[in-house]
Amino acid sequence: MSAKQSILHYLDKQQGATDAHLQLKPEELAQNKCLDALHDQLHEVYHAKIEKGYGEFQKPVPTFQKLMMQWLAHDLEFVAFSHQVAGLFKTYVEKETLAVGGHLLLSFEQRGMSEYLWVVILHQERGLSVNADLELMSTEYMNLQNLHLAAKINLTEWQNNENASRYISFAKGKTAKKVTEYFKNVVGCEETTDPESQTQSLIQGFQHYCKDQALDPGQTNEFSEKLYDYCKEQADSGGSVQMDDVAKLFDTPEMGGFAETFDQRSIVPHRRSLKQFIQLQGNMKGLSISFQRKLLGSSVFFDPDTGVLTITDIPAQLREQLVETQMV
């Protein structure tokens, strides 16, 4: 079991309201299979499905960090620490009219050699289940698929590396930016790393390097897929793209110097942007086009002089729809 200490509190607030009610749990959550399942789902969703930002604690020292330091120094018990953090959330959420309440989860865990502190707002939703008599029943469940307000603090890195600047990761979901900002402010996080811009720089640098090396389309596609596979693997595991690993991946005469063209030796991959390594896409009003880069020159042709894109092998389903439309 990775979770050492965990607790839930409930913050009741409706969107648009300026007051909130806080229900505090007086003791830690029991260590059982339900807590294990919650952590397993949290890890799966957070690391494999959510785009994240990265940062460090603000300066001067924010209130959350002060409370955390008191807990780590054993001046505050975990439950007392969580009560004060919950009160801090209540203060902030009442100032943000767009924010809603939810269940505040604080969880201290160890994974491998590192210790982490999770700060997460969970929401319950209504669903259906079937009872022993095969009757439908209304039920409530924790929906972790819509996890938009979550932060994970790498306590080990924060305590042992004075030069660390991205020991806090946080969800960057579809929630309104002001709501995400309020959550970051409660934790006291200042964003230091923008994975999307870093990934875009990697993609553009790769494309320019391939062009400078005069690689043919087949070679470019081969190297693109290699880099995409490596970056996606790192994104799915919550890791970072290391230029030393990229250098080993591209240990060839054509691409041997690519990794040395980047000043940053480590970047955080942005999952949605990675598709640009292997895919071309664009949309306009009433039209959306997407295809793999390796199809360009085989079944997809582009004439830069006329701006005409020709597709010679279209999907069977689309062909059927076009034929039916012509017959109407």
| Strand 266-267 relative to strand 308-311, pairing | unpaired
pTM of the model: 0.74
pLDDT (0 to 100) of residue 176: 53
Q: Looking at this protein, which amino acid is placed at residue 14?
A: Q
pLDDT of residue 6: 95
Q: What is the mean pLDDT of the chain?
A: 87
88-107 in b/e form (b: 16+ CB < 10 A) is bbbebbeebeebbbbbbbbb
- Please tell me the predicted confidence (pLDDT) of residue 163: 83
Task: Give the pLDDT of residue 44.
Answer: 86
CA–CA separation, 107 vs 123, rounded Å? 16
Structure tokens given for 122: 């969970």
Give the model confidence (pLDDT) of 120-155 as tens digits. Answer: 999 888 888 888 888 888 888 888 887 888 999 999
Residue ranges of the chain with pLDDT lower than 70?
Answer: 1, 49, 173-179, 327-328
Beta strands in 13-162 (DSSP E): 21-23, 52-57, 102-111, 114-122, 124-130, 136-142, 150-154
Please calculate the CA angle 209-210-213 and round it to the nearest 5 degrees: 85
Q: What is the DSSP string of 262-326?
A: -S-SEE---HHHHGGGTEEEEEETTEEEEEEGGGBTTTEEEETTTTEEEESS--HHHHHHHHHHH
The helix/strand/coil state of 122 is strand
How is 153-201 classified by DSSP, letter by letter?
A: EEHHHHHH-TT----EEEE--SS-HHHHHHHHHHHTEEEEE-HHHHHHH
Q: What is the pLDDT of residue 88?
A: 95
54: Cβ–Cβ under 8 A, 6 or more apart, which residues? 166, 168, 169, 170, 191, 192, 193, 195, 268
User: What does the pLDDT read at residue 189?
Assistant: 92
Are 29 and 105 spatial neighbours (Cβ–Cβ below 8 Å)? Answer: no
Buried-exposed string 291-322: b where 16+ CB fall within 10 A, e elsewhere: ebbbbeeeebeeeeeeeeeeeeeeeeeeeeee
